[in-house]
Structure 1
Amino acid sequence: MKKALVFLMTAVMALNVCACGGKAETAKQETAEEKTVEEEAAVDTAAQEEEAFKPEKDISFIVGFDAGGTADIPARIVAKYMSKYAGVNVVVSNITGSGGQVAAEQVKAMEPDGYTLLHVPVGYYLQAALGNADFTYEDFTPVTMWCDSWVALAVKADSPYETYEDFISAVKENPQSIRMGTVSGTLPQLAALAIQKKEDVAFKMTDLGVNNKATELMSGRIDAYIDGVGQLSQYVKSGDFRLLMAFAKDDTVIPGFEDLPSAESLGYTDFDYLLQSFGMWMPKGTDEKIVQYYADLIKTCSEDPECIKELNALGYGARSEDPENYANICEKVQTKTNEAVADILN
């Protein structure tokens, strides 16, 4: 019995030793596997960080219009916040000429190194549709939208036109009697033609050329004109002008002009080509990682309460868009602008 008991105890001890050895071996294997996974994750993270774009020098934001204008003012606001989050300076440079075409042509010819951005007004689509520009969005790399703006119909505050309906009634009663100030080849001119077509009225179109539109209206040389809300807001606040409508959708809230009738509420349809949102392009061939970096940067800026506040105070809205969505928007706007020009001008 004693021998049997000793044998049994010895066997149990041997099994325990084997079990402990097995557990230890399993633990070693699990630890090794965990270490391998962690090392692989670290390598992947390092590779992603190495591949990701991060600017290391100043970025040029090219605006094809004069400093202090409708295009320039919001660009400088957004550039300030881009600099804040990018960690480098985003410098706005004004390269004027041919309705922004000089700036576009220069950017088009630049290397796609990730340090040059082009301010894109809707005027570029119109110029292409009119055959006045030999480039479209397809000659660049679309990045994102960065600012919302809208064009509105303005009259003097002491004019007899209290509402849009008053204004249209007056034009219908006396065709060619209302002098509409326009500048050839611009979005406001296209908007004025759209009003004529939709309402079946005829303005006395007055080409203002390089003259200041606000001064022309205040002096009484014209009766109305269409311009960006951001540019008109100062004259509304001063009590000089009254806005009668804006080319905007019903669900759009225009900062400071929440009660302004939208084109959609007045029966306009399919007028996306008259929405004045600003976009951003880069030289063609810019790397996708670079494009995504700037799209993400603009998104961050558009969600910054202070950035939103500054833009809203001047009648603009913060905006961002995914690069793929923005490219689709570019295609749609160009197509619609082409159709509108062919329909209205022919």
Structure 2
Amino acid sequence: IYSLLFLPEIHSMRMFYTAASNVPNFPEFVAVTLVDELQISHYDSNTRKKVPTQDWMKNITEGDPKYWERGTGILMAHQQWFKTNMEIMKQRFNQSGGVHVIQRMYGCEWDDETDEVNRCDQHCYDGEDFIVLDLQRETWIAPVQQAVPTKHKWDNNKADLAYWKNYLTQECPDWLKKYVEFGRSSLMRKDLPSVSVLQKTPSSPLTCHATGFYPDRADLFWKKDEEELHEDVVKGEILPNHDGSFQMSVDLDLSALKDEDWGRYSCVFHLAGGQEVSKRLDKRDIRTNWKTNDGVVAALLLLTGCIMGLIIYKKKPPQGKVETLLSSSGSLMCVC
């Protein structure tokens, strides 16, 4: 908890491009931009238009009336590039049909305390790493044999390497800082969650579920009296909701819990900056989906993740791992 009180603000901007082949009810190409995990713009091959998805994004371009027009033109060019490369990828992997997805994610993270900037640019195919930029060495890394020809071609394109080095080093953090300033009321807000205790069956673990909080720098834990519990506890990942807020859960194994001790347990949510929500364990407050002895059906277990079409992701997955994701806006993504 102490560390959450003094964490610096880490801001991020990531662009996600997705080209899809034979994916039912999904555009051929989708591009979205996220700032601090909040979507700020959207483009797809059906609408063929880049548009803001936050009200404050409309204000940031008041002095540049052609901002969205230029962005649309750039993404239309990217759309054609990805379409051409989809056929190349199928040939490389000796594929003729089926469902296939090319993804690119690039962007930067900025620490507003140290001014340190981290950068990332990577491509994946069908959910697996294909090629990743090593900006420090100014070279592309090919984790699969099929990417080697691409690596050689892109390594020899010095002008393109210089462009992306400048973009990721200078332009990306500059735009990120600008977005953070204009969107401060949304991006810097502090929202506390609603906290519920859930249980599938009488023998299942107790799940403490917190949803609706922002930002995602938070902790959720069980404690007995005033002591945080680490044994018999399984903590879930922080997941985004459709409205830009977040949710998380933590399970408590009941096997060692005595009936007379129930009142000594509580679930605590802690948001970076010190705000806190605590819920003491009470059998009457547990949401469940089993039938009670008198035949009355209790409240259904809250299945927020299934209802809202979330992005399922890991905040800090292993180095180089690229995962296939589905965002709340309906775009497939890969993240580093």
TM score, norm. by length of structure 2:
0.24
Task: Work out which of the two has the higher radius of gyration on C-alpha atoms and give 1 or 2.
Answer: 1
TM score, norm. by length of structure 1:
0.24
From the two aligned structures, give the one with the greater helix fraction.
Answer: 1
From the two aligned structures, give the one with the greater strand fraction.
Answer: 2
